[in-house]
Homo-oligomer: A and B are copies of this chain.
Amino acid sequence: MFESFFRNQTVPSQTKIAMLILDGLGGLPQEPGGKTELETAFTPNLDALAARSTLGLTQPAGPGITVGSGPGHLALFGYDPIQNEIGRGVLEALGVDFEVGPDDVAARGNFCTIDHDGLLTDRRAGRLPTEVSKKMVELLRTIKVEGVELFIEPVKEHRFAFILRGSGYEADLTDSDPLITGTAPLTIKANTPGSEKTAAAVNEFLSRARDLLSDQSPANMILLRGFARFPTLPTFQEIYKLNPAAIAVNGMYRGVARLAGMQVLPVKGTTLADEFTALEKYWQTFDFFYLHYKKTDTCGESGDFFGKVKAIEEFDALLPRLLALQPDVVIIGGDHSSPALLRSHSWHPVPLLLNAACCRPEGIAEFGERACARGGLGVIPATYVMPLALAHAGRISKYGA
């Protein structure tokens, strides 16, 4: 909604913005009347920073909407997450660091098991071990379909990413996965004329895969779903006049950051401390840093309340290393809530902290859901975060006279 406006209003500057995203940050009390994960955590550094910051809560895509990390990040980066839908196929490919091109059609793949009549008996082939899956992928890679280039990338267990590269192949296709057992995999159908040659190519691939895998066990067939093409996003350079970098360990986040035009920095190791080391190393080279921390979400999704508390405390302990770099603007927030209570992503608004020399602090010396509910930023769409960061970085010119 703001893209075209900010494209005209942003101005270059020497200021630096650091956006630190704790995945699934928002939580819920584990017991009635209790505290959330963030409220429970001992966070002296965050609390001290909150006291001189302005606080609020972000809504990723709208009221009551639970988002995946893809749309959650798009919103934080300033893109309308509903208008810019990232299809599941593209997310799967991005997740394994496959460089999805503008003409690529991507889908999620599953190895599955069918019986002698061709009916599905297990949609995941007993959650095929990743190592077995990788060998099966090698088999699939031998399949050739005329007119297109095919890429098969192992993901995890029974899952793989399927990418069809050609020219003028649209991606509005039905799934082959019927989502239930006892029925045969479905023939892919085109929903638009422009997708018909895509459907034909994919069906040919599926037919050859069936022949090729027929004597394998337990996985003897594949399912494809979530066909999608890459959304075209204006980059951070174009809209914000920023030179942005991303620090993330997991492929999906690296992929979404790349969509936004960020340079994905190498991280030696996989810990949050390793990510902070990368931040320090490249601090002089870029003026916008997105740093992603996964553990808060992993604990939330597995229902590990105190694991999430501890993950937040680990983040807090490393925060001084960021502050020592003296960023002009610090954003600390999340892409969505992942309350341990619900063991899943949720729609609850997400705590947000914005610090800058020119921010208007409320003087609330606590970073937590209820503290943020009292903050001066209010409950805002997550798409407001980038405009607010840019403004506090002196990067938006006055509108009108």
Contacts and interface: CB of A to CB of B under 8 A. Distances in A.
A102 interface: no
Given A342-B358, A358-B342, A400-B71, A9 B379 contact: no
A345 interface: yes
A265 interface: no
Nearest to A389: B64
Q: How large is the interface on A (under 10, 10 to 19, 20 to 34, 35 or more residues)?
A: 35 or more
B401 A64 contact: no
Number of copies: 2
Interface string A189-228: 0000000000000000000000000000000000000000
Given A82-B5, A378-B378, A91 B400 contact: yes
A110 interface: no
Contacts of A57: 376, 378
B373 A376 contact: yes
Interface stretch (A171-179, A271-279, A306-314, A390-398): A390-398
Given A2-B62, A66-B391, A377-B379, A398 B341 contact: no
A363 B33 contact: yes
A9 B66 CA distance: 10
A191 B67 CA distance: 43
A124 interface: no
B399 A67 contact: yes
Given A347-B388, A378-B379, 12 more contacts: A2-B62, A5-B82, A33-B363, A61-B399, A63-B387, A63-B388, A64-B388, A72-B400, A345-B398, A349-B376, A360-B369, A362-B373
19 contacts: A2-B63, A29-B360, A57-B376, A62-B387, A63-B384, A63-B387, A63-B391, A64-B392, A68-B400, A70-B400, A71-B399, A72-B400, A81-B400, A86-B400, A88-B401, A91-B400, A346-B391, A362-B370, A369-B376
Interface of A: 2, 5, 9, 28-29, 32-33, 36, 52, 57, 61-72, 81-82, 85-86, 88, 91-92, 252, 339, 341-342, 344-349, 358, 360-363, 369-370, 373-380, 384, 387-392, 396-401
